[in-house]
Amino acid sequence: MARRHAASASPWRCSSFSALARLLWASKYSGASSVALRYEAIASASHGFVYCVAAYGVTGGRDELPVTARQVVAAVRPHTDLPLLVGVGIATPEQAGEASTFADGIIVGSALMAPLVAGDPAGALQLAEAFRRQIG
């Protein structure tokens, strides 16, 4: 029986973390430092979605949504029909709401990990709910 490639599976149907990790690995990253010719190559090589990196530098939240987030989405959109998800630098539900006005989805990592690392899983859940409310 043929094995289904993880990138074609819905992340909500992945039966293991390993399958979800393969799905994320199959997506391509496009950032503000990508040159115009690379946007088309990144978009055509992507499967499932394109991860649009919103900020230069290390991962983690920023005080404001980086202006480069909108620029990257605008630069990639003409090259693909895949969903464009913005990540890196999204620190608050309000920033996620702003990004959802021009991106197809939001990826949040550090902001949700902080309460977990601090031993506050209920706080992480409340924050996740606040992110969800902001993106509609």
Domains and CATH numbers, the chain: 23-135 (3.20.20.70)
pLDDT score of 12: 42
Structure confidence at residue 24 (pLDDT)? 43
Whether the pLDDT of residue 53 is over 70: the answer is: yes
Q: Which helix (H) or strand (E) holds 36?
A: helix 36-45
pLDDT value at position 20? 40
- N-terminal to C-terminal alpha carbon distance within the chain: 40
**Which residues, including other chains, have CB under 8 Å from residue 124's CB and lie 6 or more apart?**
112, 113, 115, 116
Q: Provide the mean pLDDT of the chain.
A: 75
Q: Is the pLDDT of residue 33 over 60?
A: no
d(CA 44, CA 80): 7
**62 or 70: whose pLDDT is higher?**
70
Binned at pLDDT 50, 70 and 90, residue 103 comes out as very high
Q: Which of 59-63, 74-78, 127-131 has the weakest average pLDDT?
A: 59-63
Q: Which residues contact 64 (CB under 8 A, 6 or more apart)?
A: 95
pTM of the model: 0.69
